[in-house]
C-alpha cells in the first residue's frame, strides 16, 4: 500500500538519468523529493503517471485507481482551458467520469467550503491573477478526491504569502483525506514544512542520498517554521545534500 | 478621441478623390467624382442592384457554407491524424496555390453553365483554406492540456470535444475569414464570365460594356461593401465564440 519504485533505470538523450533508483512513499503520508534540477524528478512523475516508459525496473502505485489519481504539473496553469468557465475547469475530471450534474455541483460546494476557496466560479481563467489561476488548477486536481497525489514543484512561482497559503491548503486537504502524496520540490523550506519524509536525490545518475524523517506534528503552522526542530530538519537535508563536511 | 482617427483616413480618401474630380486632374469620363458615383449608387440600390446583390450573396453563402461543412470536420480529422495530413500537404498546398478561377472552365464542363459551377469553384477555393487552417490549429495545439485531460480520465472523444475543437478554433476562424473573402471574389469573377444575368460581377461588366462609368464604380463599391460586411459579421461571431483571445 504505497508508491514503490524498485531499481528504476532510464536514459534520456544519451544521459543516464537513474540507475537502480529505489524508494517508497508511504500510504497516507506526504513524502517530498528534494534534489537538484536535472536529476530527473519530473521524468519520474511522468513514468508514474504512465506518460513515459522506464528502461527497466519496476514501479507501482497501490492501490491504483485512475479516477482518484491526480497529477499537478509544474506548469499547471497552462492546463487550464480558457474557453471554459472556472467552474467548468474544476469539474472537467468529474464530467469525464460521467457523474451526474447534482453530484458534481455538490462536490464543488463541499470542497469549496472545506478549503475556503474564494474564486468567481462563473468567470473565466484569463480574468484571474496568476496566483488565482494556480489556485484554480490546484482545486481541479483535488476535486476527484484523489487518494494518490503527484505534485511537481507546485508553488515555485508564488510569493511568500501565497506560498504559505497553498501549503496550508494542501496540508488541510491532507489531514482531511489522507492521500498518498509525493511532492517534488527544490525548496527546502517547502519539503520540511509539508513532508513526513524527505527523500534527498543526488545529481545524475540520480540515486537516493538519504531519507530525512520529519516527526514534527501536524497541523504545522508559522510557529513550526520558526522552531528549532524545523531548522534541524532543514540542516539534516542540507547535510545529506552537500555531505557533512561542507554543511 | 480615438474614433476621430478611424474616420480620418476614409475622409481623406474621399477628399483626394473629390479634388481630382473637381480640378479635372483625370479624364472625368473614366473617373467620375464621388458625388456622381454616390448618386449612381443610391439610384442603383433603390432599383435593380438589390437583386444582383442578393444573387451574389446567395451564391457566396452557399459556397461558404459548403466549404465550412466539409472543411472544418475534415481539417479537425486531418489535424489529429498528423501523418495523413503530412502525406497530402503537398496536394493541398498545390491546389491552394492554383487560382480556383483557373479551374472554372473545368467546373463548367462538369457542372454546366448554371450556378452549380460557380458555387463549385468558390467552394473549392474556400474549402482548401478552411481545411489547412483548421488542421494547423489542431496540430499546433498545446499538448499539455490534452495530457492533463487524459490523466484526468477523459476519453479520446471527450478530449476532441472539450479541448482540440476549441483549441483550434482561433486558427479555424483565420481560415473562415480568408475563405469568405475568397469565395466572394471567385463568385464575382465567375459571374463576369458566363451563365447568368444577375449578380454583382455581371452588373459591373454590363455597365463597363455600355460605358456607364459612374454606375460601374457604384457597383464596385457595392461589391466592396458586401465583402466588408460579410467579414464584419464573421468577426462578430468570432468575438463571441473565441472570447479568450481578445
pLDDT of A146-173, one tens digit each?
Answer: 888 998 887 777 788 888 888 888 898 8
Question: Using a CB-CB distance cutoff of 8 angstroms, which residues of chain B are in contact with residue A49?
Answer: 151
**Helix crossing, A160-177 with A101-115: angle to 10°?**
120
C-beta neighbour count of A189 within 10 angstroms = 15
Which residue of B lies nearest to A66 if distances are taken between CA atoms?
B153
**Most confident of the following: A43-57, A87-101, A140-154, B54-68:** B54-68
H or E element: which one contains A5?
strand A2-12
Instruction: For residues B75 and A228, give the distance between their C-alpha atoms in angstroms, rounded to a whole number.
Output: 62
**Most confident of the following: A60-74, A204-218, B98-112:** B98-112
Q: Do B142 and A126 touch (CB under 8 A)?
A: no
User: Considering the entire predicted model, what is its pTM?
Assistant: 0.82
Q: What is the rounded radius of gyration, in angstroms, for the C-alpha atoms of chain B?
A: 22
pLDDT at A69: 85
Mean pLDDT score, A31-45: 84
Q: Positive or negative CA dihedral for A211, A215, A219, A222?
A: negative
Question: Using a CB-CB distance cutoff of 8 angstroms, which residues of chain A are in contact with residue B154?
Answer: 92-93, 96
Question: Using a CB-CB distance cutoff of 8 angstroms, which residues of chain A are in contact with residue B151?
Answer: 49, 51, 69-71
Q: Do A83 and B166 touch (CB under 8 A)?
A: yes
Instruction: Give B195's pLDDT tier (boundaries 50, 70, 90).
Output: confident
Mean pLDDT score, A58-64: 83
| Residue length of chain B | 246
- The count of C-alpha atoms lying within 13 angstroms of the C-alpha of B147, restricted to the half-sphere facing its C-beta, is 17
**Is residue A204 a contact partner of residue A40, using CB atoms and an 8 Å limit?**
yes
Which residue of A lies nearest to B155 if distances are taken between CA atoms?
A96
Distance, CA of A47 to chain centre: 15
Nearest CB partner across the interface for A49, out of B151, B154, B244: B151
Q: Which percentage of chain B shows pLDDT scores above 90?
A: 64
**Most confident of the following: A29-43, A90-104, A215-229, B178-192:** B178-192
Q: Do A75 and B144 touch (CB under 8 A)?
A: yes
C-beta neighbour count of A22 within 10 angstroms = 15
Residue B41 has pLDDT above 50, yes or no: yes
Q: Do A81 and B145 touch (CB under 8 A)?
A: yes
Question: Which of A64, A83, A145 should one mutate to test binding to chain B, selecting the residue with the greatest count of B CBs within 10 A?
Answer: A83
B155 touches chain A (CB under 8 A): yes
User: How many Cβ pairs closer than 8 A exist between chain A and B?
Assistant: 53
Distances, alpha carbon B38 to alpha carbons A2, B212, B225, in Å? 81, 14, 13
Alpha helices by DSSP H, B82-114: 82-97, 104-111
Joined grid coordinates for residue B19: 479634388
**Helix crossing, B165-193 with B115-139: angle to 10°?**
160
Q: Positive or negative CA dihedral for B207, B209, B211, B213?
A: positive
Strands A2-12 and A15-26: antiparallel
pLDDT at B217: 92
Residue B36 has pLDDT above 60, yes or no: yes
Mean pLDDT score, B153-165: 90
Instruction: For residues B96 and B133, give the distance between their C-alpha atoms in angstroms, rounded to a whole number.
Output: 12
pLDDT at B153: 82
Instruction: Give A247's pLDDT tier (boundaries 50, 70, 90).
Output: very low
Q: Do A81 and B169 touch (CB under 8 A)?
A: no
**Helix crossing, A130-142 with A160-177: angle to 10°?**
10
- The set of residues, in sequence order, having a beta carbon less than 8 Å from that of B136 and lying 6+ positions away, is B79, B168, B171
pLDDT at B56: 95
Question: Using a CB-CB distance cutoff of 8 angstroms, which residues of chain B are in contact with residue A99?
Answer: none
**Is residue A79 a contact partner of residue A88, using CB atoms and an 8 Å limit?**
no
Joined grid coordinates for residue B186: 471567385
Nearest CB partner across the interface for B151, out of A71, A82, A95: A71
Mean pLDDT score, A79-96: 92
Instruction: Give B174's pLDDT tier (boundaries 50, 70, 90).
Output: very high
- The set of residues, in sequence order, having a beta carbon less than 8 Å from that of B108 and lying 6+ positions away, is B117, B194, B195
Amino acid at each position: 500500500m504505497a508508491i514503490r519504485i524498485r531499481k528504476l533505470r532510464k536514459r534520456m538523450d544519451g544521459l543516464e538519468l537513474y540507475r537502480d533508483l529505489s524508494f517508497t512513499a508511504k500510504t497516507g503520508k506526504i513524502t517530498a523529493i528534494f534534489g537538484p534540477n536535472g536529476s530527473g524528478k519530473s521524468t519520474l512523475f511522468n513514468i508514474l503517471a504512465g506518460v513515459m516508459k522506464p528502461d527497466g525496473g519496476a514501479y507501482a502505485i497501490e492501490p491504483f485507481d485512475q479516477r482518484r489519481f491526480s497529477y499537478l504539473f509544474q506548469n499547471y496553469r497552462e492546463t487550464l482551458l480558457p474557453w471554459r468557465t472556472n467552474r467548468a475547469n474544476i469539474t472537467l475530471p468529474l464530467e469525464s467520469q460521467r457523474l451526474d450534474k447534482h453530484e458534481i455541483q455538490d462536490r464543488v460546494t463541499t470542497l469549496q467550503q472545506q478549503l475556503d476557496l474564494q474564486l468567481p466560479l462563473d468567470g473565466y481563467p484569463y480574468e484571474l491573477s496568476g496566483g488565482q489561476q494556480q489556485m484554480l488548477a490546484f482545486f481541479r486536481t483535488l476535486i476527484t478526491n484523489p487518494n494518490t497525489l503527484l505534485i511537481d514543484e507546485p508553488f515555485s512561482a508564488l510569493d511568500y504569502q501565497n506560498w504559505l497559503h497553498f501549503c496550508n491548503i494542501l496540508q488541510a486537504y491532507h489531514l482531511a483525506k489522507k492521500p498518498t502524496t509525493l511532492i517534488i520540490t527544490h525548496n527546502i523550506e517547502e519539503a520540511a514544512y509539508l513532508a513526513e519524509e524527505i527523500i534527498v536525490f543526488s545529481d545524475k545518475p540520480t540515486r537516493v542520498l538519504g531519507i530525512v524523517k520529519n516527526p514534527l506534528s501536524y497541523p504545522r503552522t508559522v510557529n513550526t517554521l520558526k522552531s528549532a526542530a524545523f531548522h534541524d530538519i532543514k540542516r539534516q537535508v542540507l547535510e545529506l545534500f552537500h555531505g557533512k563536511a561542507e554543511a | 478621441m480615438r474614433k476621430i482617427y478611424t474616420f480620418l483616413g476614409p475622409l481623406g480618401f474621399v477628399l483626394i478623390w473629390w479634388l481630382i474630380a473637381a480640378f479635372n486632374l483625370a479624364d472625368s469620363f473614366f473617373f467620375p467624382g464621388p458625388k456622381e458615383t454616390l448618386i449612381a449608387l443610391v439610384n442603383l440600390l433603390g432599383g435593380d442592384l438589390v437583386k444582383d446583390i442578393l444573387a451574389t450573396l446567395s451564391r457566396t453563402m452557399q459556397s461558404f457554407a459548403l466549404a465550412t461543412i466539409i472543411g472544418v470536420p475534415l481539417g479537425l480529422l486531418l489535424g489529429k491524424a498528423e501523418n495523413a495530413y503530412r502525406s497530402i500537404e503537398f496536394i493541398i498546398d498545390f491546389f491552394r496555390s492554383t487560382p480556383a478561377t483557373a479551374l472554372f472552365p473545368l467546373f463548367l464542363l462538369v457542372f454546366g453553365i448554371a450556378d452549380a459551377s460557380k458555387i463549385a469553384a468558390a467552394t473549392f477555393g474556400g474549402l482548401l483554406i478552411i481545411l489547412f487552417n483548421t488542421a494547423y490549429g489542431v496540430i499546433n495545439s498545446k499538448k499539455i492540456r490534452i495530457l492533463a485531460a487524459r490523466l484526468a480520465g477523459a476519453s479520446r472523444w471527450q478530449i476532441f470535444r472539450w479541448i482540440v475543437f476549441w483549441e483550434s478554433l482561433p486558427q479555424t476562424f483565420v481560415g473562415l475569414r480568408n475563405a469568405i473573402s475568397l469565395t466572394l471574389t471567385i463568385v464575382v469573377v465567375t459571374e463576369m464570365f458566363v451563365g447568368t444575368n444577375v449578380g454583382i460581377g455581371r452588373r459591373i461588366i454590363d455597365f463597363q460594356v455600355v460605358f456607364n462609368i459612374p454606375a460601374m464604380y457604384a457597383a464596385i463599391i457595392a461589391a466592396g461593401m458586401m465583402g466588408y460586411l460579410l467579414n464584419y459579421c464573421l468577426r462578430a461571431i468570432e468575438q463571441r465564440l473565441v472570447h479568450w483571445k481578445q
